[in-house]
C-alpha cells in the first residue's frame, strides 16, 4: 500500500468513526505496518484523531 492508500483508509475511518472500535483500528494499523514497513502509525492515528493534516502537518483552516 502507498501513502495515498493509507490516507484514503484514514479518511474513511474518520468519516465513519462510530463503526470502528479501537480494536478494529489497531488491527488495521497492524495490517498497514505489514503491508509497508515505512508506514507511520503515529501520524496515521493522529490524522484519524484530527490532530494533523493528511501529510502529518498542521491542519489548515478552510478559507471558504
- For 13-31, how does the pLDDT look when each residue is reduced to its tens digit (9 = 90+)? 999 999 999 999 999 999 9
The Cα–Cα gap between 43 and 2 comes to 14
pLDDT tops 90 at residue 63: no
- Residue 54 burial (CB < 10 Å; 0-12/13-18/19+)? middle
pTM of the model: 0.85
pLDDT of amino acid 56: 85
Question: Which three cell numbers, joined as nine digits, stand for 59?
Answer: 491542519
Whether residue 58 has pLDDT greater than 60: yes
Amino acid at each position: 500500500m502507498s501513502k495515498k492508500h493509507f490516507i484514503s483508509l484514514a479518511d474513511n475511518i474518520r468519516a465513519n468513526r462510530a463503526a470502528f472500535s479501537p480494536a478494529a483500528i489497531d488491527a488495521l494499523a497492524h495490517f498497514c505496518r505489514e503491508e509497508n514497513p515505512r508506514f507511520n502509525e503515529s501520524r496515521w492515528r493522529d490524522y484519524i484523531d484530527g490532530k494533523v493534516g493528511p501529510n502529518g502537518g498542521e491542519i489548515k483552516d478552510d478559507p471558504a
